[in-house]
Structure 1
Amino acid sequence: MGENEKKAMEKIEYYLRNTEEKDMLKMVFLKSICTICKIDNNKALCKKLAVFCRENKLAKEVEELLENEPMENEPMDQLRTAVQYHAMLAITAMSRVKAIAQDEIRSLLNACFKAIFYLPPKEVLNIHLYNHTMHAMDNMLQMLLVSHRTSSSEELQNILEVLLHFASSQDKTVQARAMERLWKLSSFIASNSWQEPFAKFLEPSQRTDIVCMTLETIGEGSTEDMEWAISMLDVVLQDPATWMMDVPEILEFIQRNLGSSSTSLQEALFSVLDVLTIQSPRDVLRSVLTDLPQCDSTTLDIWKRIVTLPENSEWILDELCSIFQDKELCGIFNVTTVELGLLRFTVMDPTEENLQELHNPAQLRQLLKIESLPLVWLVLRGLVLLSESSEMARRIRVLLPEVMGTLRFANTPIALKVLNIFRNVMTHLGKYDATLIAVNLAEDLLPLFNHVASEVREGSICLFKDLMNTVVWCQKRNMKKTVRKALLPLVFQMSDETPSIAEVSGETLIACAKFLKWKNLKHLAKRKKKMEIKECLVQQNRQMVDEYLWQNLPYLRDSQASLRYEAVEFIGEPNLWVPLWALS
């Protein structure tokens, strides 16, 4: 033993003898414990140090020191000195030389947790000292396990039971601190490939909290706990029955976080979703429809992931058929079991027999009214299949108004299916029938011209162009009003940052000019003279100025700078001022 260690031992003995100056000597006492316990790879000396620590009841002294805090210079609601920090270091040091007896663990940890967990929120504390203290506590808990590796099950039980007491506190700050320690300890065990059955000590809700904390840590990206989180996630995925018992809670967490910009978090969330679905398919399917917000696009992303994975197809179909007969679920969506049961054919092989079963316009119309993105998406999926058949397409045309009505969800996958159905049906209809549909529903396509998704913008503009080509002469007058409303949006979309959209917008504008027989507009559109086209629109029909101004407003807030520029430029068009003055 070196000179420093001998002096440290003398300081410890002086502290133990002194009853009046302990408050002044406590930092020296704690640091001296760390000094004497630094010796490594000397088993004989470690045993002597362990005997010294136990004979002098140093663990009990540290416990009493923590319990007697605060002193006058260390109020309970503050963290002004590093006493707690050095107490954790001292306990860690004693654990390293196995100087803490098994029966001392619980009371010692209880004192540690009380001294730290009941502090105010970290925002009002010395954040640097607070973080160091919490890190020291985590190291202390890990060393307690490592130092008793041969009896770690009992040691783990002692630690977890004390932690769980604080994790059940009514005080949210105390609860959060305890759960964070619990998560880090669980992750440490997982990262070291221990086979300790630590989950058995946790309540299902606490296991769920650990799963969520693991995913949150993965989402943070560059944290020192990332490796632990990945190890913990492996444990969860390998034993989902133990760790993922609360299906609704985990699904709600996935739904809230799936929109994260973190790729690693998204991958982890989908991994959890896949395993959870395999583990509890019926609970997952039902929970998506009853516990998640039904009009949220993320809910639909989850639903699509579940029902469209090839490896899920057979057994998911069985579970879907079962829940579609659930009377309680039918009551929630105000449909019959017969109507809801029809949806099973949307995920079955599209055989002639299945398509015949699916074709039921009255029931499909009722299902299209449901305020649930997952279920409406299934209906539209079925209608896409039906619309690919010439015979079926003609028979489901009566549903097109209700199909267009699903655009109320403002959801990209829904909009794409609507366009697909519309295009398929129009392809299979005769000229007269197609004309009536085009006249009645073409105006519903206009809001999609500046949709957030480029596929929807391009698809809606292409479809609008096709609709004009289907209109027979006797209905052209009725169609002209809608065509005129499409002119200014098409001019703006000629500046779309997606080249194919800009191109098709120009082509459709030329088609509109031909339809309206506006030769000057046709000439300018071919030359792509956007500023002159705007002037032409105002001069051609001054009665449309008010309509143009309303159409202009959304483009002022468009995500594309090029379209915002076009909108601002249009407001500055000199020919607008006369009608604006007249309107005032």
Structure 2
Amino acid sequence: MAERRRSGRRVVWEEVAAPQESSSLPEPYEVTMVQALRLDETLLEEIPEEAGWDSEGAWLLSLLDCSDMGTVFGEYFRPSQKTDVLLVAIAALTADDAHDRQMGSDIVDMALTDPVSWLTDVPEILRHIHRNVEHIRTEPARRSLHSLLLQLMEWSPREVVRSLLGISPVCDRAAVAMWEVLVSVRWALRRVMSELLGVLQDWRLGRVFSSATEDACIYPLALLACANIDTEEFAALYKARRYLRRPSPVMLLMVLTGLNTLSKTPEMARKLAVLLPDILETLTDANANVKTKALVLFINVMGHMESEEANPIFLSLAEKLLPLFDDECSRVRELSIRLFQDMMKTVVGRSKKKLLKTVQSVLLPLLLHTNEEIESVAKASRDTLHASAKFLGWRRLSSVAKTGQTTLIGECLITHRKSRVEEYLLQSLPYLKDPQATVREEAIRFIGLAARRQSILSQERLWHICDALLPLGKDTEPSVRSLAAKTISVLTIEQSPTSRWSLRSLCCWL
């Protein structure tokens, strides 16, 4: 066997078994794994320094083209030795050195073409994947590992599921990463669920793996994926068990991945509708990954629901979506804004009237987000602002929203509902602390515009606005500092030009 240790930025393959003196491969000579990865010290010394190899594990493979490497492994290695080589290759995928990673990927690719002789010890291979999966940093290496996991699932699904449950019964982060690969592909998800049903039906195994099954809402998911059960039967089953009420965050992430895989077909999406109220409750305190997967699930499922069926969920969802518009994760912001737009297109009847006030409350946040640095979020905001104006029947705003000119949009908001100007002002103040300078600038511009359009501001309101603007005098962006100073000056002069309420007295007071 060989062991891996790190030396600087290289992966060095340490010899455990002494190599044979000869480096040739005469039949029926049995080659050890160490020789395949390193050969012997005498041959190593013969490599010229100008060759430039910095990894003892990679240079041998460079001496062989793909056909030669396949011949060497095919003719001189026993299946158990090939598995040993594969274990080292899995570890090589975590290497900093590109040659080592390429060596690992080449061996993994070779194993995928001949699972009969390479994948002889599934539990041991899974243990090595579990040990290394969190340390793989490059996308090509991750793809190789994912392909290997899926090949193992196709080759021996029963052994994969039960071995992975045994490796991590409580489902740690590495195990979740492995489960996510397996449940992200529809055919693999069905096999996973089928095997998990078998585990759950075996009371001895069910007791051992309870935290990795029941807590993860696996049982209803398994029934949904594998059983011939209609929508009403599944809804009754789920309402009786309510597994999604308090799942652990780690397990919820895995389950949402599986649910997203299922939700891509209309039939499955409609069955999943019964889960949405409980998933809605997870949005409040969830991390970005959970929020993202939950939002994708809502988009998939609600796109296949009838309006009458979806309306009650829409009304509950609308209030939950508003805080997500300002989430620190840009993907969450984009998805929540897109989902709000989809929701407005679907809702009908009395629910549409109930949603009017909520739609009015998103206009200003959408305006400010149209100035985001991240174009996908900015575009989603423009599109949803236009859809909101159509929903409300505000033709001028609908027309202006298409232009993307924020000043015109701001003026339209103010003139259309003069009674809401103070509400808009208060709503814009938190955006002065937004991480993006472009959003802070847009908030300052709108505040200046709205305050000037308001004929008279109380001294208390003016103080409140200026108090929020003054810290921006130390903003990291010069444009923000300058715009904030000008806005304060204009407001204090225009609002009270002859009173003692001047910029100087304001600053002294504060």
Alignment TM-score, normalising by the size of structure 1: 0.54
CA spacing shift, 1:181–1:404, aligned 2, 3 Å: same
Tell me the residue number matched to 2:406: 530
Tell me the residue number matched to 1:545: 425
Structure with bigger helix share is 1
Contact preservation (8 Å) 1:348, 1:354: no
Tell me the residue number matched to 1:344: 222
Tell me the residue number matched to 1:274: 150
Residue 368 of structure 1: how far off its partner (Å): 5.2
Q: Output one character per residue of 1:356-376: Cα deviation in whole Å (capped at 9) or x when no partner.
A: 442224246323532312234
Root-mean-square deviation (CA), in Å? 5.2
Structure 1 stretches of 5 or more lacking a match?
Answer: 1-116, 165-179, 558-563
Which one has a bigger Cα radius of gyration?
1
Tell me the residue number matched to 2:91: 213
Identity rate, percent: 14
Question: After superposition, where does 1:223-242 map in structure 2 within 5 Å?
Answer: 223=99, 226=102, 230-231=106-107, 233-235=109-111, 238=114, 239-242=117-120
User: Hey, what's the Cα distance between the residues in 1 that align with 2:176 and 2:212?
Assistant: 18
Q: Output one character per residue of 1:373-419: Cα deviation in whole Å (capped at 9) or x when no partner.
A: 22344456667856866xx79xx56x543132244353334321122
Tell me the residue number matched to 2:480: none
User: Hey, what's the Cα distance between the residues in 2 that align with 1:533 and 1:268?
Assistant: 50
Q: Does 1:365 align with 2:242?
A: yes
CA spacing shift, 1:191–1:535, aligned 2, 3 Å: same
Residue 216 of structure 1: how far off its partner (Å): 3.9
CA spacing shift, 1:468–1:571, aligned 2, 3 Å: farther
Q: Output one character per residue of 1:487-512: Cα deviation in whole Å (capped at 9) or x when no partner.
A: 32255247663497365224224136
User: Hey, what's the Cα distance between the residues in 2 that align with 1:482 and 1:376?
Assistant: 28
Q: Output one character per residue of 1:205-257: Cα deviation in whole Å (capped at 9) or x when no partner.
A: x656503234346x855x38846851465147633434654244334356426
Find the partner of 2:375 among 497, 505, 509: 497
Find the partner of 1:416 among 296, 304, 322: 296
Q: Does 1:444 align with 2:320?
A: yes
What secondary structure does 2:375 align onto? Answer: coil
What secondary structure does 2:71 align onto? Answer: coil
CA spacing shift, 1:488–1:316, aligned 2, 3 Å: closer
Contact preservation (8 Å) 2:260, 2:297: yes
Contact preservation (8 Å) 2:256, 2:297: no
User: Hey, what's the Cα distance between the residues in 1 that align with 2:298 and 2:439?
Assistant: 29
Contact preservation (8 Å) 1:294, 1:374: no
Q: Output one character per residue of 1:521-550: Cα deviation in whole Å (capped at 9) or x when no partner.
A: 556435543123345657743234343233
CA spacing shift, 1:244–1:285, aligned 2, 3 Å: closer
CA spacing shift, 1:313–1:468, aligned 2, 3 Å: closer
Tell me the residue number matched to 2:46: none
Tell me the residue number matched to 1:308: 186
What secondary structure does 2:119 align onto? Answer: helix
Tell me the residue number matched to 1:488: 365
User: Hey, what's the Cα distance between the residues in 1 that align with 2:132 and 2:381?
Assistant: 37
Partner amino acid for 1:346? L
Find the partner of 2:198 among 315, 322, 339: 322
CA spacing shift, 1:156–1:330, aligned 2, 3 Å: closer
Find the partner of 1:565 among 420, 429, 438: 438
Partner amino acid for 1:488? P
User: Hey, what's the Cα distance between the residues in 1 that align with 2:449 and 2:256?
Assistant: 46
CA spacing shift, 1:235–1:341, aligned 2, 3 Å: closer
Contact preservation (8 Å) 1:449, 1:460: no
Residue 272 of structure 1: how far off its partner (Å): 1.0
User: Hey, what's the Cα distance between the residues in 2 that align with 1:336 and 1:157?
Assistant: 42
Partner amino acid for 1:265? A
Tell me the residue number matched to 2:71: 193
Residue 428 of structure 1: how far off its partner (Å): 3.6
Partner amino acid for 1:401? P
Alignment TM-score, normalising by the size of structure 2: 0.60
CA spacing shift, 1:145–1:580, aligned 2, 3 Å: farther
Aligned residues: 407
Partner amino acid for 2:255? L
Tell me the residue number matched to 1:580: 465
Partner amino acid for 1:570? A
What secondary structure does 1:146 align onto? Answer: coil
Tell me the residue number matched to 1:110: none
Structure 2 stretches of 5 or more lacking a match?
Answer: 41-54, 452-461, 469-509
What secondary structure does 1:369 align onto? Answer: coil
Contact preservation (8 Å) 2:244, 2:279: no
Q: Does 1:405 align with 2:278?
A: no
Partner amino acid for 1:568? E
Residue 484 of structure 1: how far off its partner (Å): 1.0
CA spacing shift, 1:513–1:473, aligned 2, 3 Å: closer
